[in-house]
Each structure stands twice: as structure tokens, then as C-alpha cells.
Structure 1
């Protein structure tokens, strides 16, 4: 069996999962992926920013292939990726935009690893796999009442 054929079944399978199950599935994928190197980059930024979220996202704006906008100081940020760096997509195995849930979950994992006592919401606003120019994730800090 060709690996590309196997991934066609994978895409069909994740399409049939309810959203909550896809989130759970991709949470482990995203966590595993980000632990392979990207997490350390963000940990270094966190240390440079001394935990200040606005400074962190300003510094992340300097990373290659990344753009960040502070939408609302201290609570809302837009994080852009100029290209899809997922190996499964780059190698042509997976093309479904549902794969972007993995990126969303990896961002949540990074944020919770850095700011352990904060709650976040990440929303996929744009996606290269959906046909957009870049990937845009909106990150919101959430208070105890569910507000950003």
C-alpha cells in the first residue's frame, strides 16, 4: 500500500469525527509536533519577554515566516504563518483544512506551557489549506467569566 493512499483514508476518517473528537485527536498530534523543536523557540521568546504577553508577541513578529498583531493589549493577538510548515501537507499526504486543528492545538499547548495559570481561546481565522494567502490564528486570553 502506498502511504498516500493510507492518508486518503485518514482524511475521510477525520472528516467523520465530531469537532470535539477532532480537537482531542489533534491535541496529541499538535503537542507531539511542537515538542520537536518549536516549543523551545517560544520558551526562549517568553524568557526574553520576561513573561509579558505583549512583548512576547512583538518578539514573535521577528521570527521568520511569522507575523503578529496586537489587537487588544494584554488579551487579543493575531498570529500569522506565511506558509504551511506541516510535513504531512508539504509532502502532499494531507490537503484537508481540518489538519489546521493540529496547528491550533499546538498553539494552545505552547501558550499553556508558558502561561500555566492563564486560559486561552485560539480561533482559526484563515488557512492556507482553505485557500487563504496565509494562516491566521486569533489568540484571546480568557478570564474566569469566559471573556477576553
Structure 2
């Protein structure tokens, strides 16, 4: 059996999970993935922005392959990824849009790691695996501190 055959079962397996189960599963996957380097990039942006969300997203807009928009200062942001950087997708192992939950959870992990006193929600608006030319995430701060 080759590895791509195993991942066909993986895709079927995650499709059988409830939304809550996928959130839990991909929360661990996303956390592990960003600890391998992406988290450091966003930590540097956080430090450069002195913890200011608006400046952070302005700086994120300068990252290669990333675009961001401030929809409502200190409250709502859009974060775009111009390509899917997931190695499972890039190497042709997984193509289900359910995998995008991993990206959503990794963004939540990054945000919660940087702003421990804030509560965030992230919504997947568009994704490459759903047929869009880019991934678009809506980030909302919903902690009442804004």
C-alpha cells in the first residue's frame, strides 16, 4: 500500500466526524503544524506591532503570500492566503475541503498564543480546496474589550 491510499481512508474518516470532533482533531494538528515555524513569524509581527491588532494586520499584509484587510478596527479582520501551504495538499495526499479546519484552528492557536486576554472567532469564508483562487478567513474579536 502506498501512502496516498492510506490518506483516502483518512479523508473518509474525517468526513465521518461531527463538526465538534473535527474541531478538536484539527485543533491539535493545527497547533502542531504552526509550532514548526509559522508561529515564530507571527510572534515577530506581534512584537513589531507592540501587540496592537491593527498594526499587526497591517504588517501581516506585507508577508509574502498573505494579504489582510482591516474591516473594523480592533474588531474584524480578513486574512487571505494566496496558496495552500499544507504539505498534505501540496503533495497530493489530501484534497478534501474539510482539511481547511486545520488552517482555521492554527490561526486561532496563533491568535490565542499572542493575545491571551482576548477571545477570537475565525470563519472560513473561501478556500482553495473549495475552489477559490485563495483562502479567506474572517477573524473577529469578541471579548468585549474592544
TM-score of the superposed pair, with normalisation by structure 2: 0.98
* Deviations, residues 28-81 of structure 1 (Å, cap 9, x unaligned): 000000000000000000000000000000000000000000000001000000
Alignment partners' CA distance in 1, 2:30 and 2:142 = 21
1:107 is aligned to 107
Paired with 1:77 and 1:85, the residues of 2 have a C-alpha distance of 21
CA distance in 2, matches of 1:94, 1:124: 18
Tell me which residue corresponds to 2:87.
87
Q: Which runs of structure 2 are paired with 1:1-148 in the superposition (5 Å)?
A: 1-143=1-143
TM-score by structure 1 length? 0.97
Instruction: List, as ranges, runs of 4+ consecutive aligned residues in structure 1 with deviation greater than 4 Å.
Output: none
Count of residue pairs the alignment pairs up:
146
CA distance in 1 between partners of 2:117 and 2:3 (Å): 41
- Deviation, 1:133, is 1.1
Shift of 1:143: 2.2
- Following the alignment from structure 2 to structure 1, what is the Cα–Cα distance between the partners of residues 130 and 122? 17
d(CA) in 1 for partners of 2:43, 2:143: 23
Q: Distance in 2 between matches of 1:19 and 1:11?
A: 14
Separation (CA, whole Å) in 2 of partners of 1:38 and 1:82: 15
Unaligned 5+ runs, structure 2:
none
RMSD: 1.2
